Amino acid sequence: MNWIKRVLSLWNVENIKIVRRIIVSVVGATVLLIGIALLVLPGPAFIVIPIGLAILATEYAWARHWLRKVRRIADGVISGRSATYQNRKMRNPVRNGETHRAEQD
């Protein structure tokens, strides 16, 4: 029965927080490193890297900072793509019924 008391005394709140932080750090760093490796290997790096940062952001402020940056960049890319698509659609002379200026001269 003494060993049960010893085991239970080891699992206080502070030790659980430390163990949780270590597990989050290992899992988050592993996912982040896999995402970085996928930048040069075939795979969804731009999905895996934010997932790794999100895992690390549960424990570290620097990861929250980088996750916000990645979100801003992703928002810009997404809005840039849709704006580029709309600009191409609007500027297409064939769709707008325009002819080339060389033909008009």
Mean predicted confidence (pLDDT) in 65-80 = 86
pLDDT digits (tens, 9 = 90+) for 47-60: 999 999 999 999 99
Residue with tokens 């290992």: 26
Name which residue leads in pLDDT, 83 or 20: 20
Which positions ≥6 away from 100 have C-beta within 8 Å?
93
Name which residue leads in pLDDT, 86 or 46: 46
Q: Which two tokens stand for residue 41?
A: 């290997």
Q: Which two tokens stand for residue 44?
A: 């969804």
pTM: 0.62
Q: Where are the domains of the chain?
A: 7-90
pLDDT digits (tens, 9 = 90+) for 8-26: 676 676 778 888 899 999 9
Name which residue leads in pLDDT, 64 or 81: 64
Mean predicted confidence (pLDDT) in 19-44 = 93
- Output the CA angle 79-82-85, nearest 5 degrees: 145
